[in-house]
């Protein structure tokens, strides 16, 4: 079985940039949740932010990404999952799935200081470059900051820290 690389960290830390470089370096296939969400659901986004609506679609994307990634991994190719994994329980869930499928897991924790991350997100909104999937407003950034759960010491021990 192949290796599953799980990339996690707060928004604006550089997860997608790291995931792209990692996938290119190891010849793996990368999946980034923001790209899937933007392409599949951005056109239907409600005018008023509805967290339940968004989270239901995130869950659908995660399930489809996971199923496809497992097919790729079963064929012998490494996968790099850039899913955010901002909550500890979500990280435990994906670790359990990978373990149950018999895949070796490599964790990649990507972080940067808050001010740097905020500036990156604002710049990404303006530049709309390679890692831009959708605009993250300052209010959205602040909200997502409250949702991120920093890694535990046990998680850090088993992670490459970027």
pLDDT digits (tens, 9 = 90+) for 115-131: 998 888 887 777 776 77
Res. 34 pLDDT band, cuts 50 70 90: confident
Average pLDDT over residues 59-67: 94
The whole-angstrom separation of Cα 134 and Cα 34 is 8
Res. 6 pLDDT band, cuts 50 70 90: very high
3-161: CATH, from 3.50.50.60, 1.10.1240.10, 3.40.50.300, 3.60.15.10: 3.40.50.300
Res. 133 pLDDT band, cuts 50 70 90: low
Average pLDDT over residues 100-124: 90
Average pLDDT over residues 58-72: 94
User: What pLDDT, on the 0 to 100 scale, is given for residue 108?
Assistant: 96
Q: Considering the chain, what percentage of its residues have pLDDT values greater than 70?
A: 95
**pLDDT beyond 80 at 139:** no
């Amino acid at each position: 079985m192949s290796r599953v690389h799980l990339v996690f960290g707060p928004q604006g830390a550089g997860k997608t940039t790291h995931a792209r470089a990692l996938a290119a370096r190891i010849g793996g296939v990368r999946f980034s949740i923001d790209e899937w969400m933007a392409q599949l659901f951005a056109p239907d986004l409600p005018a008023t932010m509805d967290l339940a609506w968004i989270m239901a679609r995130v869950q659908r994307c995660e399930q489809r990404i996971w199923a496809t990634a497992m097919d790729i991994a079963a064929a012998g190719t490494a996968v790099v999952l850039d899913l955010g994994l901002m909550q500890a329980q979500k990280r435990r869930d994906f670790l359990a799935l990978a373990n149950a499928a018999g895949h070796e897991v490599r964790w990649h924790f990507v972080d940067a200081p808050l001010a740097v991350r905020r500036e990156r997100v604002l710049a990404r909104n303006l530049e709309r470059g390679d890692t831009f999937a959708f605009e993250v407003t300052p209010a959205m950034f602040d909200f997502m900051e409250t949702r991120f759960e920093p890694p535990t010491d046990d998680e850090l021990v088993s992670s490459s820290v970027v």
